[in-house]
């Protein structure tokens, strides 16, 4: 049987208590764990180029990239593929992903990240992240490499910052989220795509979504 979703008030209470616990996390402990795992970035670019590349990016990060690159919001990001249809033929989805070009990130070119100083927290912390306060590790060729204590501490503090930001963003998302009546897919694209994020709802006409992603969502 499907587990019932907790009401938004309960989710907020749980998220706020997770945020409290996250603030107390020790960066020393995280750094020690990073050193036990070992890591050295080999600059192979595999995390930027591969099919699995999918970078979740927060509104404040998008604004910074928009500002630095002079591109529009929808030139920088796109809605993710997973979502649900409402009874009016709109497609609802959560949060934004950096736009891709081919299989990989559109900002990876000439073997480098073209927005390196402004890259999202997810890129800064890869292959590490925190889940329920525990350090987790994604696949990466650089694992096992030597990392000195100060570098591990710096990385630990960005990992913690990312974790705090993720929880804060979730709190705002839950606070602003308005539920909707579920409906059937509308492959003719009658409605719009609605992205829910920490700042509210963003309706986007299908003609403003990159072809590749639109075809994917509408099943063209
Ligand atoms: S933003 Fe930069 S670091 Fe992040 S996936 Fe794209 S190219 Fe890689």
Is 200 within a domain? no
- Is residue 217 lining ligand 1, measured as CB closer than 6 Å? no
Is 84 within a domain? no
Is 165 within a domain? yes
Is 131 within a domain? yes
Separation between Cα atoms, residue 192 and residue 150, nearest integer Å: 48
Mean pLDDT of 129-147: 97
Which mutation among 113, 124, 142 tests ligand 1's pocket best, with the greatest number of atoms within 8 A of CB?
113
What residue numbers bound the domain in which 170 lies? 8-79+97-175
Residue 120 CA to ligand 1 centre (angstroms): 8
Give, using CA atoms, the residue closest to atom 2 of ligand 1.
113
- Per residue in 41-51, pLDDT (tens digit) is 999 999 999 77
Q: Whole-model pTM?
A: 0.91
**The token pair that represents 21 in the structure block:** 């616990």
Is 139 within a domain? yes
Angle at 69 between CA 64 and CA 74, to 5 degrees: 80
Is 201 within a domain? no
Mean pLDDT of 86-111: 92
Is 183 within a domain? no
First to last CA, the chain: 33
Is 90 within a domain? no
Separation between Cα atoms, residue 96 and residue 76, nearest integer Å: 10
Separation between Cα atoms, residue 24 and residue 100, nearest integer Å: 36
Cα 180 vs. chain centroid, distance in angstroms? 23
195 DSSP β-pair partners: 93, 202
| Number of domains into which the chain is organized | 1
- Is residue 94 lining ligand 1, measured as CB closer than 6 Å? no
Nearest-atom number in ligand 1 for the CA of 55 is: 5
- Is residue 122 lining ligand 1, measured as CB closer than 6 Å? no
Separation between Cα atoms, residue 193 and residue 63, nearest integer Å: 20
Q: How high is the pLDDT of residue 7?
A: 72
- Is residue 105 lining ligand 1, measured as CB closer than 6 Å? yes
């Amino acid at each position: 049987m499907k587990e019932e979703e907790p009401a938004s008030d309960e989710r907020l209470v749980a998220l706020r208590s997770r945020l409290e616990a996250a603030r107390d996390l020790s960066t020393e402990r995280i750094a020690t764990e990073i050193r036990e795992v070992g890591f050295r970035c080999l600059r192979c670019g595999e995390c930027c180029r591969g099919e699995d590349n999918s970078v979740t990016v927060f509104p404040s990060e998008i604004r910074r990239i928009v500002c630095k690159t002079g591109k529009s919001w929808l030139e920088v990001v796109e809605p993710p593929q997973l979502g649900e249809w409402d009874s009016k033929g709109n497609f609802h989805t959560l949060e934004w992903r950096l736009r891709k070009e081919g299989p990989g990130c559109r900002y990876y070119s000439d073997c480098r990240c073209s927005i390196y100083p402004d890259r999202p927290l997810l890129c800064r912390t890869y292959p590490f992240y925190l889940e329920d306060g525990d350090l987790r590790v994604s696949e990466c060729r650089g694992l096992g490499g030597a990392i000195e204590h100060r570098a591990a501490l710096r990385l630990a503090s960005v990992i913690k910052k990312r974790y705090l930001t993720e929880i804060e963003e979730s709190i705002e998302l839950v606070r602003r989220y308005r539920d909707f009546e579920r409906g059937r897919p509308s492959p003719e694209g009658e409605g719009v795509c609605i992205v829910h994020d920490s700042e509210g709802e963003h309706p986007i006409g299908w003609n403003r979504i990159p072809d590749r992603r639109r075809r994917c969502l509408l099943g063209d």
